[in-house]
Amino acid sequence: MTPLPENTDQATVEGFGREWTTFTQSASELAAEDRRAMFESYFSIFPWDALPPNSIGADIGCGSGRWAYLVAPRVGHLHAADVAADALEVARRNLAGLNNVSFHQASVSALPFADGSLDFAYSLGVLHHVPDTASALRDIAAKLKPGAPFLVYLYYAFDNRPAAYRMLWRISNWGRLILSRALRAANRGDQHHRALGVLADRADGRAAGKIWQTAALMAAYLLPAPLFLCDAYRRFRPVLHAAGAALHARANHRDAARVRI
């Protein structure tokens, strides 16, 4: 096995490679309205007006290319970088219609850009997954021109939240871990059920048997919204909605059959 680049976690690379291969977020999978809403929830604070004409920037940890799809038309050139080859291949397909995007398989600590060369960069939901987040931030900052904007989204430790909030999160996280392991344990199912597995823990993309399938749907649809209104939910909301619609259709069919009998 070829050793991974510095500041890279093997399990994370493999996990995200599976995720974006299973849920490509292509134009046929992700509605334009949902894509725009996801984009604005992060980029509404980005200083687009401050960028120079024909600006050159980088998407660090581009994944499926879901952000690059809407960033590239606004800039001169966009570098899409990801250490996962599988994810990068999905991004190539999703962004095939854009001629101002170049693709780089690279870790955050080995970015193929000259220091001080980028007009902007962004990295959303990525850097908390690398072994040394602080080092990753420094490595990206080194590639930026002085004063260039860098949009970053990181998980945090709830330092500013009360004890009750942190305890509620721990309880919900325990449930998520139990559910995700149960979903991974069963090795069958269709894409709708795989979406529930990924929602629970960005897992193998494998589905559950009937019991855990039902538990997953109950969790996704019945538990309080704050437990599920996360980035994972926004990624897979269209698939979850489709799963719900399919279940309702099957239930209506069964009801109609009972009436005929």
For residue 81, what are the β-bridge partners?
60, 104
Pick the more confident residue, 199 or 78. 78
Contact 187, 212 (CB under 8 A): no
- Find out whether 172 and 165 touch, Cβ atoms under 8 Å: no
Cα separations in angstroms, 150 against 73, 75, 139, 216, 232: 18, 15, 12, 37, 23
Q: Indicate the DSSP class of residue 52.
A: P
Say whether pLDDT at 260 is over 50: no
pLDDT at 5: 74
CATH superfamily of 10-153: Vaccinia Virus protein VP39 (3.40.50.150)
When the pLDDT of each residue in the chain is averaged and rounded to a whole number, the result is: 76
* pLDDT at residue 198, rounded to an integer: 45
Domain ranges of the chain: 10-153, 163-260
Predicted confidence at residue 223, as pLDDT, reads 47
pLDDT of residue 181: 61
Cα separation, 5 vs 7, in Å, equals 7
- For 24, the token pair is 């490509």
Q: Kindly report whether the global pTM for this prediction surpasses the value 0.85.
A: no
Looking at residue 117, its amino acid is S
- pLDDT of the residue at 15: 74
pLDDT at res. 184: 53
C-beta of residue 127 within 8 angstroms of C-beta of residue 59: no
pLDDT in tens, 92-145: 999 999 999 999 999 998 999 999 999 999 999 899 888 899 999 999 999 999
Q: What is the pLDDT of residues 177-210, one digit of tens each?
A: 776 666 555 443 444 444 444 444 443 333 434 4
